[in-house]
Amino acid sequence: MMTELSTFPTRPYAPAQEHAPRDDALDLYSLVPYLEDYQNRARTRRCFITDDSKSEVSWTDVDGQGPASVRVLNSLAELRGYRSLHCPQRNDLRVISVCQSNSWRPLSVTCDMFKEIVDAVSASPDLLELPLSFYQKTIAVEEGFTTAPVFRLNASSMEIMYIIKYAFQKPFEEKGKDNWVLRQTGVYQKYDIATKNSTLVFLNPTRECKFQERLMGLLQSPYKRTCLQRNPLLVHNILFGTFFHAWRDYLKHLEGRILPIVSSLVDNFIIS
């Protein structure tokens, strides 16, 4: 007798987090089940700055009908104070952005500030995994690595998290160096089903990140802002549309470098 498809066991989605993770919490669904491991890794990899006065967090709130409110927060005290005064209402959109000073430097926040952001968003511990790919380095390591995407769903909310890698052409050339590089943007989104609030956290490789500039421009337009509020997943399409086309130009650039080498090797082989 054929078994009904519905009787086969399936792996359930990890439930979305209702509250921010405690230091002693254990979430076996998470990529970061043990928070002490995360703290040690973040310290070893130098993912965050240590000087609170040099921190910079861009916090944008869009309420149901009003204009976008943009604030740059430069300390843990500012972040806590601003957070306490701005509680999201129904159908609100919130965008929190953290940048590196450049793509080989730590994120421009302290570890305590990032934990405060996680708490403000009421995010699952998975969000703590995101900054571990943004750290201080001296050579181009982990260029091809990215963390696994995360999707969490329950009756009250949905969480999405991933890192997008993309090719970027520097506007200037350095002697002996390739002006094409690989960069990345970290993305986290939490959508509250009951209130229709959407909160987005972005980790960008520079302050001049093209996607960040486009997103902030869209949030200043009443019509485009309304589109983002009505379709909270639309922001991902904006991100992909900003960067995907560069892969074709990057591959063309690589072909231009490799084909002459291949041609020379073939010629030498024929002559020999």
Nearest to 199 by CA among 165, 227, 235: 235
The residue ranges of the chain whose pLDDT is under 50 are: 1-14
Q: What is the DSSP string of 3-43?
A: PPGGGS--PPPBPPPSSPPPTT-B-TTSS-SBHHHHHHHHH
Going from the C-alpha of 48 to that of each of 85, 99, 221, the distances in angstroms are 26, 11, 33
Evaluate whether 182 touches 169 at the Cβ level (below 8 Å).
no
* pLDDT of amino acid 3: 39
180-227 per-position pLDDT tens digit? 999 999 999 999 999 999 999 999 999 889 999 999 999 999 899 889
Which tokens go with 173?
Answer: 């050339």
What are the residue ranges spanned by the domains of the chain?
Answer: 35-271
Q: 3-state DSSP: the chain helix, strand, coil percent, rounded to 5?
A: 40, 25, 40
**pTM of the entire predicted model:** 0.84
DSSP H stretches of helix in the chain: 35-45, 76-85, 111-121, 210-219, 222-230, 234-243, 246-271
* pLDDT of amino acid 19: 52
Which tokens go with 47?
Answer: 């993912």
CATH of domain 35-271: 3.30.460.20
